Amino acid sequence: MVHIFLNYPTPSNQQLVLSHGDCWLNNLLFRYNDAGDPVEVMLVDLQSIRKHTPAVDLNYFLFTSFSSPERRLNLEEFLETYYTTFSSLLVAGEAPVPFTLEDLRLEFRRHMIYGCVTRIILTPYVLGEEEDAPEVEDVTENDLEEVAKARMRTIVSMGQREGSFFKTKLLDVFDDMIEAGLLS
């Protein structure tokens, strides 16, 4: 999984855009109107920006920020909204739109493994309690194997807790992988 997370996503030359690189809910700031409705959103935490396919950011965001049922039910709307906004900004700037909505759909599917792996890796951190956080101060290279074993024990215990949302959220991603043909 770490190999896929670090090395897998190779962008299509046709779809190179300025990509956030760490696009998920915790890196979004919202401004609300008096009625409590969101009227503006800003991405923060910009140290991972690079040229890449938007499919990687979309997978990262949709797999880490939504439950599987929400994402599956609304995927087409998410992709259409992204594409419509992206292409309208380019048109307003008198720049050509380099790819179609269908191209984006295909690229999203091609990079779906990245979204799945990101979900698997980040779910324990996102849904963990304070006591679940790994102790990493003063860890040396000699300690890595024991730290990894302790982390696995923590993740297993998180899944065994009464009423654990963690277990459902983590297992949902395997249904996504089967649906995408990544697992059989």
Higher local confidence (pLDDT), 131 or 9: 131
Which of 56-70, 85-99, 120-134 is predicted least confidently? 120-134
What's the pLDDT band for 57 if we cut at 50, 70, 90?
very high
Mean confidence (pLDDT) of the chain: 85
Give phi and psi for 52, each to the nearest 5. -160, 180
pLDDT of residue 111: 87
pLDDT of residue 100: 95
pTM of the full predicted structure? 0.81
Backbone region of residue 174 per phi and psi (left: phi > 0; alpha: psi in -120 to 50; beta: other values):
alpha
Whether pLDDT at 120 is above 70: yes
Higher local confidence (pLDDT), 123 or 59: 59
